Amino acid sequence: MGLPSTMKQLISLIVFLVLVAGIVSAQDAQESAEDKLADLLAVDTEGLTEQEIVDAQKQQLLSELATFQEIYNENHEQLPGPVNLLFGNERMNVNLDGGSIFNVVTTNGLVTSISDGAAEDPTVNIYVHDAVFADLNAETFDLTTALDEEDISFSGVGFFKKAKFGVAKIILGFFAN
């Protein structure tokens, strides 16, 4: 099976993918959610190149979206308030390198829908480059660095959402530095 510590770091990315900057604050709940998701997303890495591992992890993520929704919703109360404020009521397209897209709909902080493919009327677009997965696998992932280097980026759709997420980026940049 895949490396347990790598999968635990991948869980942090997945929470970020769904909620951008979601950091689970209660240690016990985080470990429980990470263990469940690590089991869910485990891939056999024996004999694979770095890129093949990244591709396998992305495919595994896409094949287990419904289970991820269930696990996320069981643990969503552990997220900091600003995450729900920013992403608690959105229709998000999550774009992965290589053209894979999945969409997430949140209502009152819960994932109410998650499925493969793009949403027809998204309010937020999130972009995640393969470098994020590679950094997770190498155990060198840093959220601030990923945002600074635009390995993870997000943008609102429409005037008000662009303004909302533009301000969020400024605030994130201010607190990161």
Higher pLDDT, 82 or 64: 64
CA 36 to chain centre: 16
Identify which of 64, 49, 53, 52 has the alpha carbon closest to the alpha carbon of residue 18: 64
- The residue-averaged pLDDT of 8-25 equals 44
| Pairwise CA distance, residues 41 & 59, whole Å | 9
Residue 107: strand pairing partners: 110
Q: State the alpha helices, DSSP H only, in the chain.
A: 4-19, 27-41, 50-63, 65-75, 81-87, 130-137, 143-148, 159-176
Length of the chain: 177
Q: What is the pLDDT of residues 80-117, one digit of tens each?
A: 667 777 888 999 999 999 999 999 999 998 999 999 99
Q: Residue 145 has what pLDDT? A: 83
User: Residue 155 sits in which domain range?
Assistant: 4-176
The three-point CA angle 27-30-36 to 5° equals: 140
Q: Residue 47 has what pLDDT? A: 86
| Pairwise CA distance, residues 57 & 169, whole Å | 28
| Pairwise CA distance, residues 47 & 150, whole Å | 30
Report CA torsion sign: 100, 115, 113, 130.
Answer: negative
Number of domains in the chain: 1
Q: Residue 175 has what pLDDT? A: 55
The number of beta carbons lying within 10 Å of the beta carbon of residue 37 is 24
pLDDT band at 7 (very low <50, low <70, confident <90, very high): very low
